[in-house]
Structure 1
Amino acid sequence: MTESTGFELLDQYRSITSKLKKRFLRKPNETEASESFAALGQQCESQELPQYAALSWLAAARCEGTLGNPVSETAYLLRAARQFFKAEQEDFLTGCTCVSTENLEVYLVTIMHLKGDYVSALHTYQEITKALQNIPTGSQKCGLLLECEINMVFLLLILRPSPQKISSELTRILEKYTWADQSDSSLIACKMSKKLFLLMQSIVLICQSVDTSSLREIESDFWPFLSVEQKDLLRTLCRIYYP
C-alpha cells in the first residue's frame, strides 16, 4: 500500500464519519453511513488492506447497533474480527514480531461481542491459539494464550457439547483440569498460576457434577483473574448451571 492510498482511505473514512455528527434539527443517517462503511470495508478487503477493512467493518457494526439491527451488527463485527486477525497474521509472516500484537487484542475484544454465538467464538479462539504458536515467547504471548485458554474452557462449559459431538482437541482442553494435569504443555505455555489452575479445575469439576450449588461460591474468587468479557462469560455460565 502506498502512503497516498492510506491517506485516501482515511479521508473516505473521515468523510463518512463526519456525516454522523448531529446537525441542528436533523438526525444523522445511520443507514446511509452503515452502507458507506460496508462498501469501504469491501474496497479495503479487495485491496488486501485488512487493518483498514477492520476499522470500516467496526464502524458499520456500530451504525447497525444504533439502528437496532443485531444480526447485521454481529455479521459486521465478525468481519472486522477476521480482518484484525488477518492483519496480525500478515505481521507474523513479514517478520514484524516486535509489534505489540494490538490487532489480536482488538480481535479478542471484538469477537466477545458475538451476541451469544458461542460456537463461532470457541472455534475462533482455537484459531488464535494455533496462530500464536508462531510468535516468540514473551509476556504478551503468554497473556493472550491465557486469555484464550480461560475463554475456551468457559465456552465449552456453557455449550455443554455431547461426547459424540465434541472433537478430541476440545476434549483435551477440559481433561487437563479433570485429571489435574498441570504439566500440560498448553498450561506451561500460558504460565497459568497455581491458584488460577485450582479455580479452573474446581469450576470444571463442579459443572460436571450433579450438585452445582458451590458454583456461586467460587465465582468471586475468579474476579481478580478475569477481564470484563470473561466475567460476562462466567455470569452466563453460572446462570446456566445454577439459575
Structure 2
Amino acid sequence: MAAEGDFLLRYRAVSNKLKRRFLRKPNVAEASEQFGQLAKELRQEECLQYAGFCNLAVARCEQTLFNAPGEALALTDAARLFLQAEKETQKLQCPGFEEHLQAATNCYSFAIKVYIELNQPVMAASLCLELGNALKLSDSSSDVSLRPAAVSSAFLVHLAGDYDGALAVFTEMQLLAQEKGLQVPGTCTPVGAFLDVIARCEVSRVLLLMLFQPPPQKLLLEHAHTLEKYDWESFDSHNQVNYLPENIFLLLQSVVMACQEKDLESLKVLQVELWPLLTPEQNHLLHLVLQEVLTPSGRGV
C-alpha cells in the first residue's frame, strides 16, 4: 500500500519513465496505468489530494496518447477527489486557502472543455451542474472567484448546440450567485464577480428563451418570472434587474417585444445596437434568434 510519506518517491519514479531517452520512446501507457494504481492506493488510505494529483498525471498521459475520453474521465476523478479533500478540510476546520477547491474547479473546467471537443454537450452540462452544486453546498467564503469558470463552461455548452442544457446551467448559476452573492449593504444590488455572473446569465437566459419561444403552458415558473420583468408595460422593471446597465436592459426589453411581434426588421436594428455590448457567445445566440424569427423551427423547452 502507498504511504503518504513515500508518495513523492513513487510519483517521481513513474514520472522519470516519461522522460525521453536517446533512441527510446517513453512508455506512456504503462506510466498512465501506474499513476492510476497509485491513485487507487492513495484513495484507499484517504490521501485524497495526492490521489487527485495522480489522476491529473493520468489525464496528461491520456492526452499524450490522444485518448480524450480517458483524459476527461481522469480529470473528473481528480476534480471529485480535490472536492472531497476540501470538504474534509472544512469539516476539520483547518486553516487554508481553499487550494483544493480551486484545483477541483480547474479540473472540472478542463474536463468540460474536453467533452465539448468530443461533441458530448450533455456530459459537459452535467459537469457544469455538478460544479455548481458543489459550490452551492460549499462553505467557501471566496468562491466568488470560482463561479465565472462554471459560467464560462456553460457558454461552451450552448455553443456545442445543447441549448436546453445551457438554459438549465445558466438558470442554476444565476440562482446560486443571487443566493450566496455579496451585496451592497442595505440593498439587494450584487457586487463584484457576482454582479458579472448574474448579468451574463440573465442576458443569455433571455436570449435562449427568445430562441425557444415556449408557449405559456410549457414555461417553467423561473423562466416566466424572468420574462415578466421584460414586459413592455412594466415601466419600473429595471428596478428588478439593477444588475444590468439600463441601456442593455431597454434593448433586451425591445428584443423580447420584437420577438413576440415577429418583427424581423426591428430585430435587425436591435442586433446592430447590441452587438458591441454583448459577448461573442451572446451575439451568436442573438443571431440564432433572428434566424428563428425568419424561419421558425418549432423549438421548445
Same fold (TM over 0.5): yes
Whether 1:224 and 2:273 are equivalent positions in the alignment is no
Note closer, same or farther for the CA distance 1:175–1:158 as it changes in structure 2 (3 Å cut): same
Residue 179 of structure 2 is aligned with which of 123, 133, 153?
133
Q: Is the 8 A contact 2:62 2:71 kept in 1?
A: yes
Using the alignment, how far apart are the partners of 1:29 and 1:134 within structure 2? Answer: 38
Deviation at 1:202, TM superposition (A): 1.1
Deviation at 1:187, TM superposition (A): 0.8
Note closer, same or farther for the CA distance 1:163–1:227 as it changes in structure 2 (3 Å cut): same
Give the counterpart letter for 2:149 in structure 1. Answer: V
Using the alignment, how far apart are the partners of 1:145 and 1:202 within structure 2? Answer: 20
Deviation at 1:65, TM superposition (A): 5.1
Deviates more, 1:101-110 or 1:151-160: 101-110
Whether 1:77 and 2:129 are equivalent positions in the alignment is no
Deviates more, 1:12-21 or 1:50-59: 50-59
Using the alignment, how far apart are the partners of 1:197 and 1:152 within structure 2? Answer: 13
Using the alignment, how far apart are the partners of 1:196 and 1:142 within structure 2? Answer: 14
Q: Is the 8 A contact 1:151 1:230 kept in 2?
A: yes
Deviates more, 1:50-59 or 1:129-138: 50-59
Show CA shifts across 1:175-224 (max 9, x none).
32223435345312x1x222112211111111011432221121121123
Whether 1:112 and 2:155 are equivalent positions in the alignment is yes
Residue 218 of structure 2 is aligned with which of 165, 168, 177?
165
Whether 1:152 and 2:205 are equivalent positions in the alignment is yes
Deviation at 1:165, TM superposition (A): 0.7
Q: What SS does structure 2 have at the residue aligned with 1:110?
A: helix
Please report the TM-score for the alignment, with normalisation by the length of structure 2. 0.64
Please report the TM-score for the alignment, with normalisation by the length of structure 1. 0.77
**Structure-2 residue corresponding to 1:198:** 250
Which structure carries more relative contact order (alpha carbon 8 Å, separation 6+)? 1
Using the alignment, how far apart are the partners of 2:234 and 2:271 within structure 1? Answer: 22
**Structure-2 residue corresponding to 1:33:** 71
**Structure-1 residue corresponding to 2:266:** 214
**Structure-2 residue corresponding to 1:9:** 52
Q: Is the 8 A contact 1:51 1:87 kept in 2?
A: no
Q: Is the 8 A contact 1:154 1:237 kept in 2?
A: yes
Using the alignment, how far apart are the partners of 1:235 and 1:173 within structure 2? Answer: 21
Give 1 or 2 for the bigger CA radius of gyration: 2
Q: What SS does structure 2 have at the residue aligned with 1:214?
A: helix
Instruction: Let me know the Cα RMSD of the aligned residues.
Output: 3.2
What runs of 5+ residues in structure 2 fail to find an aligned partner? Answer: 1-46, 88-99, 184-190, 296-301
Note closer, same or farther for the CA distance 1:20–1:167 as it changes in structure 2 (3 Å cut): closer
Q: Report the number of matched residues.
A: 228
Q: Is the 8 A contact 2:59 2:70 kept in 1?
A: no
